Structure 1
């Protein structure tokens, strides 16, 4: 038994638990809608039974108000169950991706290290994984029967739950991709900003260095000029002294 088959069994178990959770949520939803329908029927029956005491307008107003309240309740019920199913889809999606990632990393490590330990691990783990898969399937079947009984009508329970779970998983994957894209975009913007800042700092530093170099050149030029002027003046003074000495010597 390969590690791929073992990871597939784990993914199937996760999927089965996800469908079971979706069935439980559908049980709450369909049960609430059915109970509300029974209540609306009983309310309309009571109102119509007292037709002699109530006018037609009053009966119509009472019925309309009750239906309006029932509509608000149904909307809240569906909104809550949709959010719960979305949470289940996110959990199943993350768990499935985690199993795939662990399996691929384990295979890569086993091959690179040449341990050949996965076959032994598979032989040890597959019986427990198969037992857990059977338990998950029985739970899924039981939850499906519960949905049928509560809804009061024949319906392809597993197909409905699978469709809703897959829709939630796709929504979760789309949200995850969007979040990843936003994070990548923000990181890219921060990197571009850092690069631009670094360029500005480099430009400012280069300008300062150029300014220092220019100043140093000016100072060197001034010093050279001063030294040259001083040397010229010294030479002229020396010639004058020598000339005076020569004149004094001739006079003597």
Structure 2
């Protein structure tokens, strides 16, 4: 494997790591959106259960507060994940450019000096880089599947009813 081939493997490895990071950001976003949905359901359920004990104004304010919190959380989630996606994309571009420049500089160095040490080094490290690249591609594939499952509607989730500290105290008091 030549230095050019090593740089190709390195670029593929960088791209794979970038895609893995983007997949995890997508999974984080989808998980955050699910959290908002669960919290809205619990809030609405609690509000419905206690509505008879609340004044109309208090119920209205509670609903408005919940909508405001959800909106701020959703907006923050969207902004942070979009920003993270952009950072990863820019970082991948910079790293790939660096690999391309390093390969070009290595070829120029060998041409000027007549010493092929860098080619020999590339040939020695290429098998390890290839194995690492294949492993990174597998990790990328698994994270893509994970992000897809989290974001998709076909996710089978086991909803275990967990009792909160508040519900445990309520149960003891009753």
TM-score (norm. length: structure 2): 0.75
- The 5 A counterparts of 1:188-227 are none
Aligned position for 2:92 = 92
Q: Is the 8 A contact 1:30 1:151 kept in 2?
A: yes
- The 5 A counterparts of 1:95-134 are 95-134=95-134
Deviation digits for residues 51-76 of structure 1 (CA, Å, limit 9, x no counterpart): 44446665444223201111111112
Q: C-alpha displacement at 1:16, in angstroms?
A: 0.9
- The 5 A counterparts of 1:29-178 are 29-54=29-54, 58-153=58-153
Q: Is the 8 A contact 2:2 2:119 kept in 1?
A: yes
TM-score (norm. length: structure 1): 0.54
Q: Which has the larger radius of gyration?
A: 1
Deviation digits for residues 110-151 of structure 1 (CA, Å, limit 9, x no counterpart): 223333445533332221111110121122122223323433
Q: Distance in 1 between matches of 2:63 and 2:86?
A: 34
Q: Is the 8 A contact 1:48 1:59 kept in 2?
A: no
Q: Which runs of 5+ in 2 are unaligned?
A: 155-174
Q: Which runs of 5+ in 1 are unaligned?
A: 155-252
Q: Distance in 2 between matches of 1:112 and 1:66?
A: 68
CA RMSD between the two structures: 2.4
Aligned position for 2:7 = 7
Deviation digits for residues 15-71 of structure 1 (CA, Å, limit 9, x no counterpart): 111111222222222211211111101211222234444466654442232011111
Q: How many residues align?
A: 154
Q: Distance in 2 between matches of 1:65 and 1:6?
A: 56
Higher helix share: 1
